[in-house]
Amino acid sequence: METATQKPPPANEAPRHRRSRIHEAMPGTGTHVVRRPVKPRPTTGRWRTTKNMAMLVILALFFILPHLPWPRPDGQPQQALLFDFAGGHAYVLWFRLGYEDLLLLMGLLLVSAMGLFFTNTLVGRVWCGFACPQTVWTDLFRKIDHALAPRVGRGGVRLFWVGVSFLTALTILAYFAPASTLWPAIFSGEAAAFVYAFLIAFTLATFFLATLVQDMVCTHFCPWPRFQAVMVDRDTRIVTYQAWRGEPRGPVKRKAFAETGAPKGDCVDCGLCVKVCPMGIDIREGSQLACIGCGLCADACDQVMDKLGLEEGLIKFSSDREQERAIAGTAAPAPRIRARTFGYGAMMLLVVAIIVPVYLDRIGVIVNVVPDRTGGFVTLSDGSIRNVYQLGVQDGRSPPGPLRITVDGLAPAEVLILSPGASTDHGNRVPAPSGRVNQENFRMLVTVPAGVAQGRVPVTFRFTPEEGGASVAEARATFVGPEPRQ
Ligand code: SF4
Ligand code: SF4
């Protein structure tokens, strides 16, 4: 690939900033330019307010959730959100998920993806503009810069950025190890070396992404803009410059317009929409891959329109069809719900309808009793009859616990539970799962005195918590005894 260093393309307020050493590819040219950081001018308006609120909620959730105390049974972590890979469980508020819940996790990922597609077909890249962590953290760092630079200077701002990056890294680690023990271990120097390695890596990554790379993540690294481009259609409402109304653009008091009486559009070419854009682009050039749909240019332009006494909305969320209708003077609203929005919405509901019963099923106790593959019965030396079964127990209770087994339809009957491959005898007690998964298999020996069971006898195994109470699961099976003598 040919590589050359050229003058950077114009960026908002570029002349005031020193050049970054990062080189940026110029799409389609095969060349690279020295990247000039985008430094958007702050603005106000309804989309800025919406962004602020979204940012507050996301940052609050991110920083608070792993530190929020959450009452759980003894032996389980007491924090609201924890992905305990070492222990094999994820603790999400009221839910305790194990490896057996991977299907549920896949369902949730699918619902999230469908949700993203659904909103994308309606209003374009609102996720990118308002909720993506890259956008939120970059926005936060820019706000810090703007608020503190006049007071503490560039060095102070950088120090503050490092502090926020470090706090972010600490919080990320608290998602994977209990914060109550992790933080003291880190600050007392007793944490494992890999913990410090992750801490440094996350701190550097946050600093790097939010201060040096910023908008380049969206334009060069993230695959989502490429995907979303094909999901946008003529009815998707994205941030659009209403060229039909704004052009021909020109300064308010431009003589040429006044003297010639030539028609002039509403755009006064003030450039404010470009100056506030966090991606450094000019939305008047048409919809672009780099546009994250944050609406800040619309806020800025509305302020200009207000000052000029013109109607707001020269830049606004609108679809191609809405623009066509506005040009034609048609007041009829463009459709919002179309086949593809309906399709994504329906798929989302379908996946939810599948995973909710799966999860509800899984939070109880599920047992499976099948005869041992030898089938039949064994006559012991004292004449008693024994059947052997394979027993599978999935204990989704929180916390799981030992269960007692009783047999209905066969009395008296002795039940003996054996762990597979081990000679451990648990009596009629199914021990609580000890591994990472809540499911365990056993051999179950059921023995009755001679003469108690003849032929095929239907039986029901009942599973009751060891501490007492009603049975939590039952399984039907058949006990096989000798055929009665004719
Ligand atoms: S802010 Fe509005 S008026 Fe100013 S240049 Fe942009 S589109 Fe034109
Ligand atoms: S063009 Fe407008 S909507 Fe797009 S990123 Fe820039 S400010 Fe946000």
Taking CA atoms only, the protein residue closest to ligand 1 atom 7 is 267
301: Cβ below 6 Å to ligand 1?
A: yes
* Contact assessment for residue 430 and residue 460, using Cβ atoms and an 8 Å cutoff: no
Mutate to test the pocket of ligand 2, among 127, 294, 301 (most ligand atoms within 8 A of CB): 294
Give the span between the Cα atoms of 137 and 207, in whole angstroms.
9
Give the span between the Cα atoms of 63 and 201, in whole angstroms.
18
Note the ligand closest to the C-alpha atom of 43: 2
Q: 151 by DSSP, 3-state: which?
A: helix
For residue 55, the model assigns a pLDDT of: 96
Index of the ligand 1 atom closest to the CA of residue 268 = 3
Taking CA atoms only, the protein residue closest to ligand 2 atom 4 is 291
**Hunting for tokens 């009755």 — which residue is that?**
448
Index of the ligand 1 atom closest to the CA of residue 315 = 7
Q: What is the DSSP string of 308-350?
A: HTPPS-SEEEE-HHHHHHHHHT--PPPPSS-HHHHHHHHHHHH
Mutate to test the pocket of ligand 2, among 51, 240, 297 (most ligand atoms within 8 A of CB): 297
**Cα–Cα distance list, 45 to 190, 282, 293, 302, 419 (Å):** 49, 19, 15, 8, 66
Separation of 268 CA from ligand 1 center, angstroms?
6
Give the pTM.
0.73
Which two three-digit tokens encode residue 138?
């970059």
Give the span between the Cα atoms of 470 and 262, in whole angstroms.
87
| pLDDT one digit per residue (tens) for the chain, 486 residues | 334 444 444 445 443 434 344 445 544 444 555 556 788 999 999 999 999 999 999 999 999 998 898 887 667 788 889 998 877 788 888 777 777 777 788 888 898 888 888 888 888 888 999 999 999 999 999 999 999 999 998 899 999 999 999 999 999 999 999 888 888 999 999 999 999 999 999 999 999 999 988 888 888 888 888 877 778 888 888 999 999 899 888 887 655 555 666 667 889 999 999 999 999 999 999 888 889 999 999 999 999 999 988 899 999 999 888 888 888 887 667 677 788 888 888 988 998 888 887 777 667 788 899 998 777 889 999 999 999 999 988 887 767 788 999 999 888 899 999 887 666 677 888 887 765 556 788 889 999 998 888 889 999 999 998 888 888 888 999 999 998 776
Residue ranges lining ligand 2, Cβ < 6 Å:
239, 277-279, 281, 283, 291-297
* Short-list 317, 311, 295, 308, CA closest to 40: 295
- Report CA 180 to chain centroid distance, whole Å: 24
For residue 94, the model assigns a pLDDT of: 79
For residue 309, the model assigns a pLDDT of: 87
Taking CA atoms only, the protein residue closest to ligand 2 atom 5 is 291
For residue 59, the model assigns a pLDDT of: 96
